[in-house]
Amino acid sequence: MHRSTWRRFFRRTARAAATGAVIAGLAVVAPLASSAAAAGTLQQVTGFGSNPGNLAMYEYAPSDLPADAPLVVALHGCTQSASDYHAHSGWQKFADEWGFAVVYPQTSAANNSLSCFSWFDSAKDTRGKGEAASVMQMVDTAVAQYGSDRGRIFVTGLSAGGGMTADLLADYPDVFAGGSVDSGLPAQCATTQSAASSCQYSNQNLTPKAWGDKVRNSFAGYSGPWPRVAIWQGSSDTTVTPVNGTELRDQWTDVWGIGQTASSTRSLTGGTTESIYDDFAGKPAVALFSVSGMAHGLAVHPGSGADQCGTTGAYYLDSICSSYHTAKFWGLDGSGDQGGTGSLPAPSGLTVTGTTDTGAALSWNAVGGAASYNVYRDGTEAGSATGTTFTDTGLSAGTSYAYTVAAVDSSGAVGASSAPVTATTTGSAPKCYTDNNYNQVVAGRAHQSLGYTYANGSNQYMGLYNVAVTHTLKETSAGYFVIADSGC
């Protein structure tokens, strides 16, 4: 956004943020002389790479961190710091309880006058460039240090850090298994600072596909699997308006190839509504958490309860522990419920090899360790195969269907779903006609015998030959009609 816009908003809040930090007893951790950080404390790591984005790296890990543990990258908001975010956000509690390391990138006034991550600068927030590249160097350093599981690397961020989180998920879907955008913005919403304020305050009026294309174009040629994305948005946020939550939902559901209608919703504490959007295997892919009445900030909920965390402060707002629900959504609690898949990767190379009026043939590349493959049509399992080909039958002519494939191991665990492909059957789409029985006969779609009506072709019974009985008839082939009252 315009520099003057940032200054007007944050001039009155930077002083409060600084005061809150003093009251909370936060201290900036002094840099270490080496690249290793002591376990159980937040410390700075130096020498983590060429650092083209001029960021600082901080990290935290419990003293008993096991090998192959997950890794979380957490990005602070404007006017904040790594130590501030670590102290308030609640991520330390769950790192200790569930066993994972946390990396906190930190920007400074040297990069942005308000210490904001540059989510709006294409020279800094795209794959291999600037701040995005620096974050990846931090990830590589932490993975080498802790022996982290590269299949369980996640990223989260608040406000400008949330905008950068969305960019990182788009830039590096091959690295991050999941993300959480807290009071943030869609990936690549703005590519210049002057365009940033429009993203913050206004509806961009883009279709889900246009939003999804911004992700797909960030790493051209990549076809999945895609990260699982949680979105947190306050309904009373006037700094990053609530439409950004909707746009993020549209963006990532489109990337996954699923619709914008929630698979399930439920009410959580703090006036929070959780809407889940399942992938084609029926596992959560996108989650939208809308917090009623919450202004701009990170949702925390201080206390000793299992689902409580964090401390309040400037932009740390008491409503619900977002870190707890985000970690659960990613499956960091060890339940495996929200990660949604077994260990097998998504099959690559899913292709439509042929179509007929009533069928579609598919092929894909083999996955090591797969005992079979599940094939999903429009989100519902259409069948399975032991090889890498499948022909779906019984389809309607001239109709488009979305397909994904997932590998299944010998224990029956279903792996990640492939990127979707669309198959359109040949011929003309079935035509449907809704009318009373008398008019159906007059139009030549049905016939009557002894005062009763029957569909032409299928000869299905339709009831009395009069204007009081109405049916929908579907023409599945020339002159062949079937009753389709339940939907056409």
Q: Active-site residue numbers?
A: 159
Q: Classify burial at 132, counting beta carbons within 10 Å of its beta carbon; exposed 0-12, middle 13-18, buried 19 or more.
A: buried
Task: Tell me the C-alpha distance between 193 and 186, whole Å.
Answer: 15
Distance set, CA 136 to CA 55, 103, 127 (Å): 11, 11, 9
Helix axis angle for 208-216 and 243-256, nearest 10°, is 70
CA distance 329 to 312: 23
Instruction: Determine the straight-line distance between the first and last CA of the chain, rounded to whole angstroms.
Output: 48
Q: Which of 263, 281, 277, 403 is nearest to 342 (CA)?
A: 281
Cα 380 off chain centre by: 20
DSSP string, 117-152: --TT-TTTSSTTSHHHHHHHHHHHHHHHHHT--TTS
> What are the residues whose beta carbons fall under 8 Å from the beta carbon of 435, sequence distance 6 or more?
443, 470, 471
Closest Cα to residue 187, out of 166, 208, 161? 166
CA dihedral 318, 322, 324, 325 (to 10 degrees): 130
- Pairing, β 470-477 against β 480-483: antiparallel
